[in-house]
Amino acid sequence: MKKVFHIFLLLMAFSVKAQDFRVEILNLDEENSLIVCPKTTCVFSAKATLDGQEVAATFLWDFDNGDRVETQENTVNYIYQKGGAYIISVKAVYNDYQALSYGKLKVGVSPYFSNYYNDIDKSFKGICLGSKAVLTMPLNDTLVEYFPKNSFSAKTPQTFYSTSWKEFVMVKNFNNQTITSESDIKFVRVKLVHTNSENLKISLFSPDNKEVVLKDFSDKKYFLGIPQEGKAGTLYNYTFSLKAEKKLNSVVLNEADDNVISEGEYLPEESFENFLTSPINGQWTLVLTSKGTESEGYVSDFEIVFDEERLLSEKWNFFQKYDLRRAVWSGKGISATRNAVAECTPKEYGTTKYTFTVSDDFSCVHDTAVFIEVEKTQFSGAGDSTIFIGDEINFESKTSWANACTWTAGDDSKPESGNPFVKVYYEKGLYQVILENSDLSGCSDRDTQTVKIVPRPLEVKEVNIFTPDGNGQNDVFTFFNEKDSFLKNGGLTKMPANIRSIKGKIYNVLGQVVYKWDEVEASVFGWDGTIGNNGSRKCPPGTYFYDIVVFGKDGNSLNRSGTIFLYRQK
């Protein structure tokens, strides 16, 4: 009898030992973590053992960012595009054995490069060619935090299932924790459509293979969701929660419901207490079993949500530090970098790119680019328009970095400073206008425009009456616009810009000349209604005659003769 008992114990020991299937992620440090760099091919390795002996298992890696990889090899290559804190997991499957392992993953995080600044005034759009800018990149250590999630979901393409549909999620944020209360599971959601609820059973399995039936087979032929022949139809979300008031199979419908059980919250058929002592971490599997035909339903996805209070102890973080002693600025015209600071002197107009490169304490390299715009001096003014003699031209510097503006008009005038610059030309010709801008450092740049000045076509108006009564309106007999002819201190001034000279006379009905123009008197071109235009001896009202020749700066001349009536108020 003892011999039989000993054999039984040996068999029991062998049986227990044969179930010792494990998987581990290799190269974890003391904190159970790995360190990798973003955008770099990383090699992850795992080892599966059965009773201490390595076996060739199938490995399913979950990289905690939505990506999964299944491989028959114990190594896998993967690239993280973004730095941060992750928890990676690997599931090993060997025959009927399964095992899980987890590890913290620290992916080098780029610093907050937005602190970059230079010493250029913020209002400037660019700098002067040859000017220097100081590039500064202050960096602080970055706190990287891992916030574990309590919601896990799996989504598959909408396909028909035949007799069963199975999907699983890998839960990995609850280190060594177990289900201690039915409230640890907040709800399980399934998205599906089915034509006959009596043929459908929905079950949830824990990592240690305990089962809770969410919906069992029934004797009711209701619709779940809205089926559509030959298509998926409208899938409904059915949520199994302890907060619900009734079970899915206990729903009673009336004709107004169109035989469809509405989506919403329902009690599971069995209590989540069936999962007590089950590990939270691991593979939770949803299984849908149908007793009907292959085309009775679609299943889209499912989600399981745990109590977030169980996550409080699972948060972790790390500080990412950056080595500013080895930080480097690079680009055209850059100086040596000291403590993340460098001077740059761009060598050409336009945009020059400068790259800042720094490494972190994981030996990961991070870089960013900044751009300095070298702005060419430019100004607005004449452009392509026709400019007449006597017209005002408004020249204005459009250079953002200019601290001082000096203008050279291209004639005999002296250079002027300020912005804008107003100029009038009185002779036809081509004039080269030069703007020289300078910044606070003394860097200067210039731009030029060639202005073409032409005479305005010679024009005179017909005049037959004027009223020299001193009211400021029609006080002067002239053939030109009033704005170009006026009385000033008893004398006529301001020759129109397109008139070179005038020759003529005014006489009364007796043939007596009361005023005449000579060519040399180009600045006097109007009659104020007095003899000799002296402002003292007023001519009486009446009819007067004129003969006049106007010589224009365009080389043309006009002859005018006629009568004019002088009117004075009594």
- pLDDT, tens only, 211-229: 999 999 998 889 999 988 7
pLDDT exceeds cutoff 50 at 205: yes
Average pLDDT, the chain: 85
* Average pLDDT value for residue range 88-98: 89
Predicted pLDDT at 487: 40
Give Cα 69 distance to the centre of its chain. 33
Residue range 148-201, pLDDT digits in tens: 888 988 876 555 556 678 888 888 888 789 999 999 999 999 999 998 899 999
Q: Are residues 167 and 188 in contact, defined by beta-carbon separation less than 8 angstroms? A: no
Tell which wins on pLDDT, 5 or 568: 568
Q: Provide the pLDDT for residue 83.
A: 94
Each residue's pLDDT tens digit, 336-384: 999 899 999 998 999 999 999 999 999 999 999 999 999 999 999 887 6
pLDDT tens-digit map of 395-409: 999 999 999 999 999
- Mean pLDDT within 457-465: 74
Of residues 296 and 60, which shows the higher confidence score? 60
**What pLDDT is stored for residue 517 in this prediction?**
78
How far apart are alpha carbons 460 and 561 in whole angstroms? 12
Which pLDDT band holds residue 314 (cuts at 50, 70, 90)?
confident
Q: What is the pTM of this model?
A: 0.64
| C-alpha torsion sign, points 307, 308, 312, 318 | positive
Q: Which domains occur in the chain, in start order?
A: 2-107 (2.60.40.10), 113-144+321-374 (2.60.40.10), 151-314 (2.60.120), 379-454 (2.60.40.10), 465-566 (2.60.40)
Which of the two residues, 472 and 142, has the higher pLDDT score? 142
pLDDT tens string 525-553? 678 888 888 778 889 999 999 998 888 87
Mean pLDDT of 501-518: 88
Q: Rounded CA gap, 276 and 181, in Å?
A: 6
Reference 372, options 115, 132, 112, 111; nearest CA is 132
pLDDT bucket at 417, cuts 50 / 70 / 90: very high
pLDDT of residue 484: 53
Among candidate residues 239, 154, 155, 228, the one with its CA nearest the CA of residue 194: 228
Q: What is the mean pLDDT of residues 417-440?
A: 92
Q: How confident is the model at residue 10 (pLDDT cuts 50, 70, 90)?
A: very low
pLDDT digits (tens, 9 = 90+) for 26-48: 988 877 889 999 999 999 999 99
**Dihedral sign from CA coordinates of 388, 394, 395, 399:** negative
